[in-house]
Amino acid sequence: MIPKELRYTKEHEWVKVEGDTATVGITDYAQGELGDIVYIELPEPGSALEQMKSFGLIEAVKTEADLYSPLSGEVTERNDAVVGDPGVINSSPYEDGWLIKMKVGNPKETEGLLTAEQYAEHIGNGAAS
């Protein structure tokens, strides 16, 4: 399931923009590919992020991967619940497993992100919902 109201990166992050605030996480596809997530490293509030630059690290039993910011801006909140229990990302990647919230620096950057349909095509799955 790929929520239609979100935007996506080719690196499998999702973003939900509401006003000048964006919530960021990884997609269900990404958590499935990673397997059991055992560790996550997220930036502190106040950290500046650049679009498509690494902002953290996610580790699973079989691999680790950088997390890439879908937008430029400043971290306003991080989800400490997933830092304490990274498995939440596996069970609820779009709700409880969000990673950070940020103040959007340049709203025009969202135009370059993938729609749900484009992301579904990118991963070879036609099931945007």
Q: What is the 3-state secondary structure (H, E, C) of 1-38?
A: CECCCCEECCCCEEEEEECCEEEEEECHHHHHHHCCEE
What are the tens digits of pLDDT across the range 62-73?
899 999 999 999
Give me the pLDDT at residue 1, please. 83
What global pTM score does this model have?
0.95
Task: Please check whether residue 67 lies inside any domain of the structure.
Answer: yes
Task: Please check whether residue 65 lies inside any domain of the structure.
Answer: yes
- C-alpha span between 60 and 8 (Å, rounded): 21
What are the tens digits of pLDDT across the range 25-60?
999 999 999 999 999 999 999 999 999 999 999 999
Task: Please check whether residue 47 lies inside any domain of the structure.
Answer: yes
CATH number reported for the structural domain that contains residue 45 in this entry: 2.40.50.100
Q: Which two tokens stand for residue 50?
A: 């650049």
Task: Please check whether residue 81 lies inside any domain of the structure.
Answer: yes
> Computed over its alpha carbons, how large is the radius of gyration of the chain?
13
Task: Please check whether residue 96 lies inside any domain of the structure.
Answer: yes
Task: Please check whether residue 89 lies inside any domain of the structure.
Answer: yes
Task: Give the percent of the chain with pLDDT over 70.
Answer: 97
Give me the pLDDT at residue 59, please. 97
Mean pLDDT, all residues of the chain: 96
Task: Please check whether residue 75 lies inside any domain of the structure.
Answer: yes
Q: Which residue has the higher pLDDT, 1 or 115?
A: 115
What are the tens digits of pLDDT across the range 62-111?
899 999 999 999 999 999 999 999 999 999 999 999 999 999 999 999 99
Q: What is the extent of the structural domain holding 38?
A: 7-106
Task: Please check whether residue 24 lies inside any domain of the structure.
Answer: yes
Domain count, the chain: 1
